[in-house]
Amino acid sequence: MAVIGSLITIAITASLVNNVVLSQFLGICPFLGVSRKIDSAFGMGMAVIFVITLASAVCGVIYTFVLLPFDLVYLNTIVFILVIAMLVQFVEMFMKKFMPPLYESLGIYLPLITTNCAVLGVALLNVSSEYNVLEGIVNGLATAIGFTVAIVLLAGIREKTEYNDVPESFKGMPMVLLSSALMAIAFVGFSGLRG
């Protein structure tokens, strides 16, 4: 039971309390760039969920069974970047083949998942927090779910405020940044959930 409780704590902390976008400020580029429409934001979120979860699993296995035993820990960042780049290429090829409209709507932001600091940040956080492979996978999945919740919420706000009567100086990106800031303040309320 203690293991399940620990995994639930990791999941809640990663998705809500330490939201990767709204409290750690990682992954801002796709967060701001793909949040124009809920559909494309959700698609990006699903791609990020797949990549971060799989990257957490693969990086955790490589770190635990290759880098640690052979004392090659200093290579973890380079190895993690290569793993993430490979996974993003796989996702890009899959979406281009099976989901062309979503692939087109994501545009340049899909390949940018490779350089999304949130993906690498989660892999490095798993190592620095000394999570085992299962805890790392749970942390990665929960972090990606938190990213998806944040980007879909922002997309919903942007769709609602797009045609509202706002001062000229607030139209466009200033309104997006203000909305993001208010969301970040709202997510501070989840800090009381910390065990």
- Write out the DSSP string of the chain: -HHHHHHHHHHHIIIIIT-TTTTS--SHHHHHHSTTSHHHHHHHHHHHHHHHHHHHHHHHHHIIIIITTTT-GGGHHHHHHHHHHHHHHHHHHHHHHH-HHHHHHHGGGTGGGTT-HHHHHHHHHHHHTT--HHHHHHHHHHHHHHHHHHHHHHHHHHHHHTTS---GGGTTHHHHHHHHHHHHHHHHGGGGG--
pLDDT at 92: 86
Which is more confident, 117 or 143? 143
Q: Which stretch of 43-52, 94-103, 107-116, 121-130 has the lowest confidence by average pLDDT?
A: 107-116
Q: How high is the pLDDT of residue 103? A: 84
Tell me, what's the pLDDT at 194?
Answer: 60
The answer, as to whether pTM is greater than 0.85, is: yes
Give percent above pLDDT 70 in the chain: 98
